[in-house]
Amino acid sequence: MNDQSPNSWESRADAHSFYGFTDLPTIEDRGAVVLTHGKGPYVVDVHGREYLDANSGLWNMVAGFDHPGLTEAAKAQYDRFPGYHAFFGRMADQTVALSEKLVEVSPFDDGKVFYTNSGSEANDTMVKMLWFMHAAEGNPNRRKIITRKNAYHGVTAVSASMTGKPYNSVFGLPLPEFLHLTCPHYWREGRNGESEAEFTKRMATELEDMIAAEGADTIAGFFAEPVMGAGGVIPPSKGYFQAIQPILKKHGIPLISDEVICGFGRTGEVWGCETYNFMPDAIISSKCLTAGYFPMGAVILGPELTNRLQAASEAIEEFPHGFTASGHPVGSAIALKAIDVILNEGLLDNARAMTPLFEEGMARIGEMANIGEVRGKGLMGALEAVQDKATKTPFDGSLSVSERIANTCTDHGLICRPLGQSIVLCPPFIITPGQLDEMFDKLGKALTQVFNDVA
């Protein structure tokens, strides 16, 4: 329980902060957690209490909260050139260097990069690019966007329409022309007696049927996270992308890999599309792009979309879209350093080394009677809480089980994230074996306490 006296930090937060994606009964009961600083994978609140952040901030603080190389890169660039835009053919040298680096480390042989301030804006931008390109090529009816139920692509009006979450209905979303296929979660969506291979085939058939029903000449693109992150860390069924990509290619529908969470090592490879062995037409990047040290997003275009969008832009002399802080020089300098830290200074290597220990810890927790599924890929995973393991029956929603677990974890000095009836873990890439032991010890105690209360 935090200090909720009238002049406390918690009460001040509640008085003048409008919370997003926050369980308000928790705030009413416990108050906010107000933080002052971080050390490695830990954050510290105004009372000096320390928490192991098993969610890397919001998937992004993979280098921890006090990496000296990243803070020095920011300080040096602020001293040198503290801000600019990327309009009118002018941009910072660091932005040019970052574009070169992103194409270099991408799976593409060539391409171009467009900058935004977030993953939401990057997905929104990609949709506008597709609409713009198809219209310029004489196909103005190619406007429909296909995603999947339970996917998360952002919070702008367009990217929220792509997000296959029922909570967006409170905004009157999705907008027209946004279509959602079945979530490729075999454990939850598979039918009785259906093998995983049969499930994957059904997912591909569903895509083919949707294209036939809607008309291929009305579909602008297909967006997919390699692993659904905010859906609850849901890896695709085996062979999923190999089943759907030929269908998309047959109908000339671009495949966009939303790598906001998966990109730069979270799944064990640099890109999630490399983990699942498919080649997208474009990649959406954010979060780990700057290791969380600056708000930045990027659309990385493969060579075919680069050429098509370049031709469309030349026809009207410009691409009429952008953001004031796109390609910010400080963000670009930090991103260049973050990429170097992740790929060349051992972070990705450590994430790979810690993955077997992470998986072992997840498997141990998964033996509990009220954990129905353990799932994940690389250094990201989820534990699905259930009332009955055999039938996969979830707890009654009124019990708020995952929220209780997350709050109890906080009491034990561990930050983890509730998603639906799951608890999500995605520790920073700097995590050590001892810190993983600490994480699973605290999580196990919290789960035991909550399950004893509700089961």
In this prediction, residue 391 carries a pLDDT of: 95
Cα–Cα distance for residue pair 196/86, rounded to 1 Å: 47
CATH architecture of the domain formed by 33-66+348-454: Alpha-Beta Complex (3.90)
In this prediction, residue 264 carries a pLDDT of: 98
Share of the chain above pLDDT 90, in %: 98
Quick: pLDDT tens for 155-177: 999 999 999 999 999 999 999 99
Quick: pLDDT tens for 382-405: 999 999 999 999 999 999 999 999
Quick: pLDDT tens for 260-308: 999 999 999 999 999 999 999 999 999 999 999 999 999 999 999 999 9
In this prediction, residue 159 carries a pLDDT of: 98
Contact 318, 310 (CB under 8 A): no
Quick: pLDDT tens for 32-43: 999 999 999 999
Quick: pLDDT tens for 225-260: 999 999 999 999 999 999 999 999 999 999 999 999
Quick: pLDDT tens for 81-137: 999 999 999 999 999 999 999 999 999 999 999 999 999 999 999 999 999 999 999
Q: φ and ψ at 11, to 5 degrees?
A: -70, -35
In this prediction, residue 6 carries a pLDDT of: 84
Q: φ and ψ at 302, to 5 degrees?
A: -70, 175
- In angstroms, how far apart are the furthest CA atoms of the chain? 66
Cα–Cα distance for residue pair 437/12, rounded to 1 Å: 35
pLDDT of 190 strictly over 70: yes
450-454 average pLDDT score? 95
181-188 average pLDDT score? 98
Query: Does pTM top 0.85 for this prediction?
Result: yes
Q: Report residue 4's pLDDT band, with 50, 70 and 90 as the boundaries.
A: confident
Contacts 24+ apart (CB under 8 A), 441-446: 442/52, 442/409, 442/412, 442/413, 442/414, 443/54, 443/365, 443/409, 443/414, 443/416, 444/364, 444/365, 445/412, 446/405, 446/408, 446/409, 446/411, 446/412, 446/414
Strand, helix or coil at 223? strand
pLDDT of 317 strictly over 70: yes
CA proximity to 266, closest of 223, 235, 301, 294? 235
The type of residue at 156 is: T
- What tokens appear for 303 in the block? 């060579």
Segments of the chain assigned to CATH 3.40.640.10: 70-344
In this prediction, residue 154 carries a pLDDT of: 98
337-365 average pLDDT score? 98
- What tokens appear for 101 in the block? 């680096």
CATH of 70-344 given 3.40.640.10, 3.40.50.1240, 3.30.950.10, 3.30.70.1520: 3.40.640.10
Average pLDDT, the chain: 97
Segments of the chain assigned to CATH 3.90.1150.10: 33-66+348-454
Q: Which residues lie closer than 8 Å to 228 by C-beta, 6 or more apart?
A: 148, 150, 151, 152, 183, 185, 234, 235
pLDDT of 10 strictly over 70: yes
Cα–Cα distance for residue pair 144/283, rounded to 1 Å: 19
pLDDT of 1 strictly over 80: no
419-424 average pLDDT score? 95
71-87 average pLDDT score? 97
